[in-house]
Amino acid sequence: MCGRFTLAVELSTIIRIFQAQYNDVSFAYSRRYNIAPSQNILVITQTEGIRQISTMSWGLIPPWSKDASIANKLINARAETIDQKPSFKLSFLHSKCLIPADGFYEWKKKAGKKIPVRITLPNQEVFAFAGIWAKWQSPQGQNIYSCSIITSESNDQMRNIHNRMPVILFGESSYHAWLKSDKNAVLKDLMQPYSSPMVVYPVSSQVNSPKNDFPTLIEEKTIY
């Protein structure tokens, strides 16, 4: 699964790497070191060839949902069944997005303890998780935009930490294909476990609380 991640690069870097823009004058960006479900996160969508940066709530609320509480159960969508599950199928067909990140957290079991670790891509400023999004209208008539991160089986490097991992997209060709393709075979090809080397290192247990969100969380800790 993917239940916590980071995005601590400059907004200008995100704009450059993803060739995206934002138009909302109220849009505000800040570096994040411990992003958690139910929070607003940065997403990139594409309409008529233009990539747009905006924020959405992490935890998908399908358009047919009776209330927003379902979002707590839909922070992740499994790549293997995303095109079959009613909660995800329509978004997968029509509403895909990129979710920028520069690392994510997972918890490794060691000597009866759960040790938080951070996983990044070597020498890469930022990459993207494959995501889907939806627009839901509340009973009060408010439009709420939400999203989910797609997960796959873990690769060899992650397998001893967790059996699931986020689907990682890297490079313009994969960003373009994910946002534009409507061919199931192409999309399934993109939703494979990340196959290149990653960097994995232990971090402070302070990351366990989503209330903590500060730069030292991403520093390596070797006191265990």
106-133 pLDDT, tens digit each = 999 888 889 999 999 998 999 999 999 9
| Residue 125 falls in the annotated catalytic set | no
- Residue identified by tokens 């951070």 is 118
Domains and CATH numbers, the chain: 5-218 (3.90.1680.10)
Of the residues 2, 125, 153, 172, which is catalytic? 2
pLDDT at 223 over 60: no
Chain segment 60-92, per-residue pLDDT in tens: 999 999 999 999 999 999 999 999 999 999 999
The neighbour count for residue 38, using CB atoms within 10 Å, is: 14
Quote the tokens at residue 86. Answer: 């009613």
What residues have CB less than 8 Å from 26, skipping those under 6 apart? none
- From the candidates 48, 97, 106, 220, give the one annotated as an active-site residue: 106
Is 106 an active-site residue? yes
Percent over 90 (pLDDT), the chain:
88
Distances (CA, A) of 54 to 20, 141, 149: 10, 20, 16
Give the integer Cα–Cα distance in Å for 196 and 158.
Answer: 12
Is 5 exposed, middle or buried, given 0-12, 13-18 or 19+ CB atoms closer than 10 A?
buried
